[in-house]
Amino acid sequence: MGGLRAAEQLRAAGWTGSITVVGDEPLMPYNRPPLSKEVLAGKESFESLAFRPRASVADAEWILGTAVTSADLARRVVGLGDGTELAFDGLVVATGVRPRRLRCPGPAAGRHTVRTVDDARALRADLARPGAHVVVVGAGFIGCEVAATAVALGAAHVTVADPEPLPMLRPLGDLLARELLRRHQERGVRFALGTPVTAFEGGDRVTGVVLADGRRLPADVVVEAVGSIPNTAWLDGNGLDLADGVLTDELLRAGGLPHVVAVGDVARFPNARYDGVPRRVEHWSMPADSAKRAAKTLAAHLAGAEPDPEPFAPLPAFWSDQHDFRLQSFGAPALGLDDTRVLDGEPGGDVVVGYHRSGRLVGVVALGGPAAGAAAARHRPALLEQPALTA
């Protein structure tokens, strides 16, 4: 997604030269969020996921089903999986992340992750087993969404396991995490919290999940939703900081190089709106926002000009649909977990929670129906007006 948006934004920023997009998936860029929601539930088709590229990139060259396996940033070439090299003047790193896997003993068959169309197809087929016992490992947003979808698809038992005591505790804090747990339980999801998974049982195929406290959960289908690993191995050997994604400056340049920028899930950038600490942000809004800023930086360099010095300061936005409710987040709630206040409504119904740091509003999260989302949106101007945390 970030690759497509970067191509479009390079055109918008005035770049008229050639653009080549290389991707290891065989498909044109597509929308991932429905893979754990509408498409997994069978409400939308896989075909509906394709993005409609802007007319401005009709002349871009797409090399699909081919991985970039190496890069020499000084020589300005990347090596492709088919053994060829591709020279460039400017490089946009948009390789995203892949699901982290659990390193537990046990069979591999019946265990899934959800990142790609192929992943979702395989999981959908497995969830169609009548009376399936589903165990979702990881109570983050993808785990919670998949659990909700599995219930909607009629799975007999859906259990979410996580070492944390509450679902989505780290991104949302205690108040909303408790409420989330209650709503999931009310809608038929079971939880095995506060204890990690240590092994999988079964012969050819998984039949159960073993927890550290000795409990065993029967399972025909396991979904591992335990976080992600940035795809950066192809950039090794160039002296970049790849500790957690690609470290960039506030103009999204990597390693201080004027001709290399990073966007989307893989970019670890300082957000001038907050404390300036570089972080990766795996929100859907980020590829578009970062591509816009990165394309300006790169297009200026390619034109021999100085880039606009305005630091990248996006207002992150995130949503998650689970059962009949939605979480809608604006800002950086995780920075304000120690000071949360209910801004609108009641925890049991449509509710909006504000997250504060040093007394300043840094994030707003709504839980509930469309009215809650609209209420959260009314706090957006206040979030935009807050001075930077470093100010």
| Residues with Cβ within 8 Å of residue 153, at least 6 apart in sequence | 40, 41, 42, 127, 128
Name the DSSP class of 335: G
What residue type is assigned to position 60 of the chain?
A: A
Taking CB under 6 A as the binding criterion, the range among 52-60, 130-138, 259-267, 381-389 that sits at the site for ligand FAD is 259-267
- On whether the CB atoms of residues 8 and 56 are closer than 8 A, the answer is yes
C-alpha angle 291/293/295, rounded to 5°?
A: 60
Which residue from 283, 311, 326, 339 is in contact with ligand FAD, where contact means CB under 6 A?
283
23 binds, among another protein, ligand FAD, none (CB under 5 to 8 A by kind): ligand FAD
Region for 61 from its dihedrals, namely left if φ exceeds 0, alpha if ψ lies in -120 to 50, beta otherwise: beta
Sole binder of ligand FAD in the list 22, 135, 137, 337 (CB under 6 A):
22
Phi, psi of 194 (to 5 degrees): 80, 10
CA distance 223 to 106: 14
Q: Which does 279 bind (CB under 5 to 8 A by kind): ligand FAD, another protein, none?
A: none
- Which one of the spans 10-18, 29-37, 215-223, 350-358 is the region binding ligand FAD (CB under 6 A)? 29-37
Q: How far apart (Å, rounded) are the C-alpha atoms in residues 246 and 91?
A: 13
Question: Total number of residues binding ligand FAD (CB under 6 A)?
Answer: 31
Q: Which of residues 51-70 bind ligand FAD (CB under 6 A)?
A: 67-68
Contact yes or no for 239/68 (Cβ under 8 A): no
Task: Give the interface with another protein as residue ranges (CB under 8 A).
Answer: 5, 8, 31, 33, 51-52, 54, 284-285, 288, 317, 319, 321, 328, 369-371, 373-374, 377, 380
With CB under 6 A as the contact rule, the residue among 230, 287, 314, 331 that binds ligand FAD is: 287
* Whether 248 contacts 82, CB under 8 Å: no
51 binds, among ligand FAD, another protein, none (CB under 5 to 8 A by kind): another protein
User: Is position 291 an interface residue for ligand FAD (rule: CB under 6 A)?
Assistant: no
Residues near ligand FAD, by CB under 6 A: 1-2, 22-25, 32-33, 35-36, 67-68, 94-96, 114-115, 142, 231, 234, 264-266, 282-284, 286-287, 318-320
